[in-house]
Amino acid sequence: MNATKVSGRKQPLFYRLPVISHFRSSVGLQRGMLVTGMVLAAVFLLVAVFAPWIAPYGFAQLSDAAGPFPTQQPPSPAHIWGTTVGGYDVYSRVLWGAQTAAVVIIVAVAMSIFLGVALGLVSGYFGGWLDRLLVVIADAIYAFPSLLLAIVMSIVISHGQSSFWGGIVACSISISVVFVPQYFRVIRAETIRLKAEPYVESAKVVGASSIRIMGRHIFKNATRTLPLIFTLNASEAILTLAGLGFLGFGIEPTSAAEWGYDLNKAIADASSGIWWTGVYPGTAIVLTVLGLTLVGESINDLNDPRLRGRKKAVAGKGGPDSTAGAQSALEAESRVL
């Protein structure tokens, strides 16, 4: 999207949207990765939205007109992915689980972006002791195993388990505690860089207030990397949510379907050869995370014009600048790792 701005030709808004513009500028393997990721992410979102209509049963439903569900039953026409030890329908719970995951991702990432961006702007713009303090705290949190922090937070907020919205909010806050430092650092670094730009200086000279400068001049320029962090964090949020659920600090099974919780119960089943209770929710996690990660990685590659151009340079087979291009591209990529 930067490239289109620089070139001066204003393209229609649709083509400048993050993922669309990335798709248009991709080729070959990169386009394959992006498309695969987009398809997986789209399926995830569709299932999340339409779970109440697709799922044959409720996520906590234990019986229907034909009587109570059998427990630990292998896949059959009535329960196409079998039933769990508690008598839940695996297929329905996997579908409903997408909804829980999607809601948690949205709440968690929205909260972290809001807090992280606000703190990063203030910290980077004003500097001073507040900045130092925030940086040290963010560093300390950043170095710590994120799952442990999320566990501690979830105990503090909900004493372990709670209702649907209570659980969702508790999980989201726990996850966002881990993410806030990441947004904070990125935005802070960008803000410090942008603070020295002439247009900020001139805004100051004209007499614009600090809030206006931050909100209007720095914010828009500092947040260009956010779509990338968003997609990578979304996948991380799913893994953290599943980890919390797996350890028993997630959402109660009667309040919402959660893949991590189901996998926890499935570990015991696995020892006796019952595979369907674990394989389906687990695969759902893997595919969702895979989809979001592929989208994130592709956006990252495509955001960097040098990395994007690499395919063509390599296709040209070893011209003098192919190595130089690849070299700088790799430096860009190594930053991601």
Sites for another protein among residues 305-334 (CB under 8 A): 314, 323-324, 326-327, 330-331, 333-334
CB of 155 to another protein, least distance (A): 7
Task: Give the residue from 233, 230, 309 showing the smallest Cα distance to 18.
Answer: 230
Among 82, 227, 253, 278, binds another protein (CB under 8 A): 278
**How near is the Cβ of 17 to another protein at its closest, in Å?**
23
Q: How far is the CB of 228 from another protein (least distance, A)?
A: 9
Residue with tokens 């803000």: 191
Which CB sits closer to another protein, 52 or 319?
319
Residue nearer to another protein on the CB measure, 203 or 325: 325
Which one among 12, 77, 145, 207 touches another protein, defined by CB under 8 A?
Answer: 145
Whole-angstrom distance, CA of residue 57 vs CA of residue 69: 11
148, 197, 319, 321: residue in contact with another protein (rule CB under 8 A): 148
Q: For another protein, give the closer residue by CB, 54 or 137.
A: 137
Considering the complex, state which of residue 4 and residue 264 has its C-beta at the smaller distance from another protein.
264
The one segment of 60-68, 70-78, 201-209, 293-301 that binds another protein by CB under 8 A? 293-301
d(CA 36, CA 266): 29
Q: Which of 31, 152, 166, 305 binds another protein (CB under 8 A)?
A: 152
Write out the binding residues for another protein, residues 206-235 only, by CB under 8 A: 229, 232-233, 235
Residue with tokens 């979830």: 154
Q: What part of residues 9-68 is at the interface with another protein (CB under 8 A)?
A: 29
Residues with Cβ < 8 Å from 3, sequence gap 6 or more?
25, 305
Q: Which position among 22, 79, 93, 185 is part of the footprint of another protein (CB under 8 A)?
A: 185
Tell me if 194 sits within 8 A of 200, measured CB to CB: yes
95 binds another protein (CB under 8 A): no
Q: Which two tokens stand for residue 336?
A: 């991601």
- Annotate each residue in 237-276 with x if it binds another protein (CB under 8 A) or - if it does not, as one string: --xx-xx--xxxx----------x--xx-xx--xxxx-x-
Residue 225: C-alpha distances to residues 113, 261, 284 (Å): 12, 33, 28
> Smallest gap, in angstroms, from Cβ of residue 336 to another protein?
6
Residues 265/277, Cβ–Cβ less than 8 Å: yes
The residue assigned the tokens 């909260």 is 111
Place of tokens 């630990």: 72
Query: What DSSP string runs through 42-71?
Result: HHHHHHHHHHHHH-SS-TT--EETTEEPPS
Q: What angle do CA 152, 154, 155 make, to 5 degrees?
A: 65
> Of 221, 258, 262, which is closest to residue 241 (Cα–Cα)?
258
User: Residue 167: which residues within 8 A CB-CB, separation 6 or more?
Assistant: 158, 161, 250, 251, 252, 255, 256
Amino acid identity of residue 28, one-letter, is: G
Q: In whole angstroms, how close is the CB of 144 to another protein at the nearest point?
A: 6
Figure out which of the listed residues 88, 102, 170, 297 binds another protein, where binding follows CB under 8 A: 297
Residues 50 and 248: their CA atoms lie apart, in Å, by: 27
Q: Which is nearer to another protein, 26 or 203 (CB)?
A: 26
Selected range binding another protein among 45-53, 61-69, 82-90, 138-146, rule: CB under 8 A: 138-146
Q: How far is the CB of 209 from another protein (least distance, A)?
A: 26
**CB 23, min distance to another protein, A:** 19
